[in-house]
Structure 1
Amino acid sequence: MAKTEISLDTELVVEVMVLSGIGNPRDAIEAVVRDYVVRGHRTETRTGEEAETRLREIDTTPRIQEG
């Protein structure tokens, strides 16, 4: 798996570490990101919708204003 290096605010990382109970900053952030992705998949499963499907359903035809 490819890895990406990013910079985050120290206070944010410490807060994530405290809330998750994980002592390693990298592991704490990874746990939060993985949880976020899993929750997204669960939501898609529950609602039966996927983000791409919802985007395709948007009506983009111009509306004529009557006045």
Structure 2
Amino acid sequence: MAKVEVTLDAELVVEVMVLSGIGNPRDAVEAVVRDYVARGHRTEARTGGTDARLREIAGEPKVEEG
């Protein structure tokens, strides 16, 4: 898997570490991001992929009437 380096505000990272209970900054931020992505997948599974349909609608050309 490709790696990406991101610069974050130290206070934000410390808060993530405290809230997650993880002592390593990189692991704490990774855990939060993975949780956020997993939550999004669970929501899509429950709602039947509404977001996918909205993306399709947004990408379709608009027909002007009148």
**Alpha-carbon distance in structure 1 between the residues aligned to 2:35 and 2:22:** 14
User: CA shift at 1:62, angstroms?
Assistant: 3.0
RMSD over aligned Cα atoms: 1.7
Map of 1:33 onto structure 2: 33
Q: What's the TM-score once normalised by structure 1's chain length?
A: 0.83
Number of residue pairs matched?
Answer: 64
User: CA shift at 1:57, angstroms?
Assistant: 2.7
**Alpha-carbon distance in structure 2 between the residues aligned to 1:63 and 1:10:** 52
CA radius of gyration, larger in: 1
Higher-helix-fraction structure? 2
Map of 2:64 onto structure 1: 62
One-letter code of the match for 1:61?
Answer: V
Map of 1:19 onto structure 2: 19
Structure 1: which 5+ runs fail to align? Answer: none
The percentage of aligned residue pairs carrying the same residue is 64
**Alpha-carbon distance in structure 1 between the residues aligned to 2:23 and 2:15:** 11
User: CA shift at 1:54, angstroms?
Assistant: 1.4
**Alpha-carbon distance in structure 2 between the residues aligned to 1:63 and 1:39:** 40
Q: What's the TM-score once normalised by structure 2's chain length?
A: 0.84
